[in-house]
Structure 1
Amino acid sequence: MEEHCLFYLAALAIFILMLVMTFFISSLLQTPPRRHKTASLPLPPGLQPLSVLGTFFALFRRSEFDVEPLLRRLHSRHGPVVSFRLLSFPRPPIFVSDRVLAHRALVGRGATFADRPSAIDPGLIISSNRHNVTGAPYGPVWRALRRNLATKVLHPSQLRVYSPARRQVLDVLLKDLETKSSGGAAAVVVMESFRFAVFSLLAFMCFGERLDDEKIRRIASLQRELLSNFVSFSVFAVYPKITKLLFRSRWKKLLDFRSKQEETYVPLIDARRNLLLRRQRSEDGFVYSYVDSLVDLEIPEDGGRKLKDGEIVSLCSEFLSAGTDTTATALQWIMANLVKRPDIQTKLYEEIERVVEKDAVVREEDLQWMPYLKAVVLEGLRRHPPGHFVLPHTVTEEVEFEGYRIPKGAVVTFSVAEIGWDGAVWTEPMEFRPERFLEGGEGEGVDITGVQEIRMMPFGVGRRICPAMGLALLHLEYFVANLVKEFEWMPAADGEEIDLTEKVEFTVVMKTPLKARIVPRKRT
């Protein structure tokens, strides 16, 4: 055991020494860059250069490196635009917490801020060399992938095609919760039920058929494995040739995961491809799926070509992961607040009862007549956004921004949570108060696309806004309405408080998952 520890201590020392030497030598040999017109401007203020050792632990012990409290202190000291100076990197990551500045960057100068950072080796493997919607460089390939998703799968007319699947998944979820709760006698930890329901629905949209539960759980397990391990793969962000040697077992784990993912997905993709080749699209029961659109798609690479199987696997994985955890997390936060605030739950139930007959489920067409439901969902997304930061942006050229120099390729991140909690916009912003989105409230008529102004941005804004925003809102309204119509949601025990403490995983989840008594509503 001692020899094992000594080996890693020696490896760590050598690694740090090589970092220092590399940066020192590169600074001596670096050719002076051509002077840019913004060269005289300062970089945004913020954290002074971290030591080599500090950077090492920041990268490799992410669970102990909570960036949000640090950023709040920096913003309070330096203003809404701050940076981290990591070693001698010429492009420190930059963080923006102000809604007006976010609008100027992401909407006013959208093209300049629309690129994504270069991916590290694990990301290149998982995304098939950045062939996915979230990570593709700003350009023709990204436009083709995003346009395909937005028009072939997420268009409102196509979303209606998936209505029967939504109803089936809802029925399964309601039955699952009623069984686990023993008719209201037992408390239930609900997150896994939420996650499985949302994943099942997205799997249908992805592959065009109702997969059996065992297959869904196997695919879901793969996706969870990816998300739970991805932070540990960040060690390969620094000198991958060296870190692949130091963390050989971790690198092998990544490759094994990718291999299992392709073994699971490719047969499903081949089945859809064969179905399309046999021209059976017009048969009863055929539902055009995301995989079908990817099989048909040509991207503007190499003079125009079809997607490879590995690229389709990456796009399917992205579709399932991005849509499942964000929606299930938001659903849990909303239901937790309804348990904590029975007055809000009662008001929502009364609205549902006015619109829907007692013995009927809430249909999708009913949702438009429920303004308080929409307010509850929007307040859930404002107060508890599943992601506290948008995915990182980069600038395509060196620019001046609010008197600071933003180097070309610099990573710029915008704070979703801080913008949604801005006390200059929202009264008592940390309170869960759906009424703020009703007539006369400060959130009345809020545009969450941020085209005119930004008051909240749970889906991002600008050119990289989440293309599945409409789908997410539909799913949240549909599930919340039916969960409240069918059940009364109460604390697990009388007088027990709901703990709304946050924990950062793939999304920002409840540190103590929601456990509630779910009592079927009495029918009269």
Structure 2
Amino acid sequence: MFARIGRHFRRLAINCPKLYSSTVVKESGAVSDRSKSFREIPGPKGMYNIPYFGTALHFKPFTNYELNDLPEILTNMREQYGDIVKMRIGRDYVVYIFDPDYTKTVLQLPYKEFFAYQLDLFEVLTKRTGIPKSLTLMEGKEWMELRKPAQEKMLRPAVVASYGPLIEQVTDDFIDILKQKKTIDDLQMTLSNYTTESVAMLCFNRRLGNIGSEESPEIVRCITEFFTLFQKSLIMPFKTFKYFRTPLYKQAEAVRLHMQSIVEKELKAQLDVLNQLKKENQLDDYLQKDPNFMYSMLADPRMTLGKITSIVTTLFSAGIDSTANSLLFALTDLALHQEKQQKLYHEIQTVVGDSTHLTKEHLAQMSYLKACIKESQRRTFPIMTGPARFMEWDTVIGGYTIPRKTFVSLDMAAMVMDERFFPKAKEYIPERWLRNVNDDITKGQEFPFAFKPFGFGPRGCIGQRFAEMEMQIGITKIIQNFEISMPPGVSEIKTICRPFTSPAQKVTLQMQERKTIAE
């Protein structure tokens, strides 16, 4: 059935998609006669359009696919139906976009309400427990009132750069611990300990002391378990946890409440420190030494303790897992491609030299370092598909009218592996991101909206600059001090999504300490 429908819609796709410019239809305007209706958008038909049940038909036991295989399902649909596909997800339709030009149109629309996708498990937990709603679930005025002050303190380059020395302190301690080993048996756990320590410096202005632990910190175990349960909830055809306290819900609630208690305990400890310093008239001296995200939030009249808790919880939970995984794939790519690792080491030697201290000027000069990170994020996209938006107007994309409040998912995970946009897409080639390379391999630079691993615009990742700096410092220090490799016989890292892309199995990394930093 898929093949027959696919042939039909491929014939349609030849004639229409790029002949029509992607345009916004104003609220008072009419849709152009040239645009096709939402009903005409190609995609699975028949029983696949039954709410909830239609979604389940794509997965086990009806097929061999699991939820983690959704990227493969979507890639197959793009090949059958073209660059815009309509698919029933739960009770509603989701439109999937596989074209960078259409993606640009969607991301650059003048959003005002910023509708949020209502994640059922999160929503139910918030209502039943009273836990403050996370920034991700907010929309409209409520979202803007929280996002704006947080953005001012998280996305300004000068503010983020001030945390560089703190991250470097954590990284130097991490390197000292690694020097005691020749092999990292569980790379994800080790990197999670490192990112937990770094993110804690931002959120709580103190070290948690987990960096040398042989097991995952309690908060990391909670985050991993909660994201796994959340992933299971997404594919449930009938979300009974919305009406009953099911075993899955009870487990998720217990984990989420424990996460909240850990965050609130750390926040209270930092508040006590600040209040004590204020009583002793030492607060000004304390604040002049290092940046203090917590104090900057408390000093903002727009912020309440509840709002601060929401922001910190979002930053802490997402920042640990996503950054640790991005670091893991960047390091394993370098370990599997020794010539690229050597090229990066040469850049580090050229820019940093004998210095053991990294400055923002050093990082600004290391273009190959940034290219290596981008290439790893391209080959192993950080999330299952990509950023998404709810349409706030009737909008014409690719010749089809997409109604207001339709959820549009921009499948960058598919776009970055599409040979039309990224030649030799399966290969690890950091040079494709360099500006001074005159080669067809750089074609991807012509499609900037095919690759936005941190999202785009006001709904983009609020911790992007901090995460980028953390990865740059971490990778630089590791490659500066070690030659890294994978065990014999390992040629790739299999992945799962929960919801950030993670290794499916334990990853081992071999390390050989360099004799000297500068040779």
Smaller-chain TM-score range? Answer: 0.7 to 0.9
Aligned partner of 1:7 in structure 2 is none
Q: Is the 8 A contact 2:116 2:137 kept in 1?
A: yes
Identify which of 455, 462, 466 aligns with 1:460: 455
Asked if residue 78 in structure 1 is aligned to residue 76 in structure 2, the reply is no
Unpaired runs of 5+ residues, structure 2, are: 1-27
CA drift at 1:99: 0.4
Aligned partner of 2:419 in structure 1 is 423
| Residue aligned with 2:125, SS | helix
| Residue aligned with 2:423, SS | coil
Query: Which deviates more from structure 2 when the two are superposed, residues 469-478 or residues 504-513?
Result: 504-513
Q: Is the 8 A contact 1:81 1:97 kept in 2?
A: yes
| Residue aligned with 1:282, SS | helix
TM-score (norm 1): 0.79
Asked if residue 221 in structure 1 is aligned to residue 224 in structure 2, the reply is no
CA drift at 1:80: 0.8
Asked if residue 259 in structure 1 is aligned to residue 257 in structure 2, the reply is yes
Aligned partner of 1:382 in structure 2 is 378
Aligned partner of 1:503 in structure 2 is 496
CA drift at 1:97: 0.9
CA drift at 1:63: 7.7
Aligned partner of 2:158 in structure 1 is 157
Aligned partner of 2:196 in structure 1 is 199
Measured at CA, do residues 234 and 378 of structure 1 come closer, stay the same or move farther in structure 2, by a change above 3 Å?
closer
Aligned partner of 1:141 in structure 2 is 142
Quick one: distance in 1 between partners of 2:443 and 2:174?
A: 32
Measured at CA, do residues 126 and 447 of structure 1 come closer, stay the same or move farther in structure 2, by a change above 3 Å?
farther
Quick one: distance in 1 between partners of 2:325 and 2:229?
A: 19
Quick one: distance in 1 between partners of 2:375 and 2:359?
A: 22
Quick one: distance in 2 between partners of 1:378 and 1:425?
A: 15
Quick one: distance in 2 between partners of 1:456 and 1:40?
A: 28
Aligned partner of 1:22 in structure 2 is none
Aligned partner of 1:96 in structure 2 is 97
Measured at CA, do residues 497 and 200 of structure 1 come closer, stay the same or move farther in structure 2, by a change above 3 Å?
same
Q: Is the 8 A contact 1:336 1:498 kept in 2?
A: no
Aligned partner of 1:487 in structure 2 is 482
What is the CA deviation profile of residues 456-494 of structure 1, one whole-angstrom value per residue up to 9, with x for unaligned ones?
22122233222333222222221111111100112323x
Letter in 2 for 1:411: F
Alignment of 1:272-311 (within 5 A): 272-277=270-275, 279=278, 281-284=283-286, 287-297=290-300, 306-309=303-306, 311=307
TM-score (norm 2): 0.79
In the alignment of these two chains, the number of paired residues is 468
Q: Is the 8 A contact 2:431 2:442 kept in 1?
A: no
Measured at CA, do residues 126 and 194 of structure 1 come closer, stay the same or move farther in structure 2, by a change above 3 Å?
farther
Aligned partner of 2:344 in structure 1 is 348
Quick one: distance in 2 between partners of 1:121 and 1:339?
A: 38
What is the CA deviation profile of residues 358-384 of structure 1, one whole-angstrom value per residue up to 9, with x for unaligned ones?
362544431222222222122222222
| Residue aligned with 2:231, SS | helix
| Residue aligned with 2:420, SS | coil
Quick one: distance in 2 between partners of 1:216 and 1:294?
A: 29
Q: Is the 8 A contact 1:339 1:498 kept in 2?
A: no
Quick one: distance in 2 between partners of 1:60 and 1:319?
A: 34
Quick one: distance in 1 between partners of 2:239 and 2:249?
A: 13
Unpaired runs of 5+ residues, structure 1, are: 1-34, 300-305
Asked if residue 401 in structure 1 is aligned to residue 397 in structure 2, the reply is yes
Asked if residue 64 in structure 1 is aligned to residue 66 in structure 2, the reply is yes
Aligned partner of 2:231 in structure 1 is 231
CA drift at 1:513: 4.2
Measured at CA, do residues 63 and 74 of structure 1 come closer, stay the same or move farther in structure 2, by a change above 3 Å?
closer
Asked if residue 210 in structure 1 is aligned to residue 213 in structure 2, the reply is no
Aligned partner of 2:177 in structure 1 is 176
What is the CA deviation profile of residues 19-41 of structure 1, one whole-angstrom value per residue up to 9, with x for unaligned ones?
xxxxxxxxxxxxxxxx9955982
Asked if residue 327 in structure 1 is aligned to residue 323 in structure 2, the reply is yes
Measured at CA, do residues 260 and 497 of structure 1 come closer, stay the same or move farther in structure 2, by a change above 3 Å?
closer
Measured at CA, do residues 151 and 347 of structure 1 come closer, stay the same or move farther in structure 2, by a change above 3 Å?
same
Query: Which deviates more from structure 2 when the two are superposed, residues 268-277 or residues 159-168?
Result: 268-277
CA drift at 1:255: 2.6
Quick one: distance in 1 between partners of 2:123 and 2:297?
A: 20
| Residue aligned with 1:47, SS | coil
Asked if residue 475 in structure 1 is aligned to residue 470 in structure 2, the reply is yes
Q: Is the 8 A contact 2:200 2:316 kept in 1?
A: yes
**Identical residues among aligned pairs (%):** 20
Quick one: distance in 2 between partners of 1:238 and 1:480?
A: 44
Aligned partner of 2:429 in structure 1 is 433
